[in-house]
Amino acid sequence: MSAATGECSQCKLYADYVSKVNAANGGLTGDYFERVNDVPDLFRGEGGLLGGHATVTIGAYTSKDSPSAKPVTSMVRKYKREFTLSPQQGSWVMSAMRLVPQ
C-alpha cells in the first residue's frame, strides 16, 4: 500500500495490519489471497479522481496477531472493494478504499 495518498486512512490501517500479520512471520496461513472476480464500474469524478468497485473473494485462512496468540479462522467470503484513485506523477494512487461484505 505504499502507493496510497496520506489521506487514505483505510489504506494505512490495512498496511499496518499486513505489516504486523503476514505469511512471512507466520501470522497468516491458508488461502488468504484476494481474488478479483469483476470490476463492473469505473467512473471519473471531480478533480480528476477515478472511482469504482471490484467484487472480490477471499479464501479460508487462519490469522494470529502474534506467535503466541490464539489462531482466528476466517471462512471463504465475498466482498465489494470500493475505491477512489487519484492521479499523481503519471500513476493512479489509492486515495480511499472500503471492503464491504456481500
Determine the pLDDT at residue 41.
87
Determine the pLDDT at residue 4.
66
Query: How far is residue 14's CA from residue 4's CA, in Å, rounded to a whole number?
Result: 11
Mean pLDDT, rounded, of the chain:
89
Q: State the Cα angle at 44 between 18 and 94, rounded to 5°.
A: 15
Determine the pLDDT at residue 2.
54
What digits encode the pLDDT tens for the residues 86-99?
998 889 988 999 99
Bin 90: left if φ > 0, else alpha if -120 < ψ < 50, else beta: left
What digits encode the pLDDT tens for the residues 10-45?
888 888 888 888 888 889 999 989 999 999 989 998
Q: State the Cα angle at 83 between 82 and 84, rounded to 5°.
A: 145
Query: How far is residue 86's CA from residue 5's CA, in Å, rounded to a whole number?
Result: 8
Determine the pLDDT at residue 12.
84
Cell, residue 66: 502474534
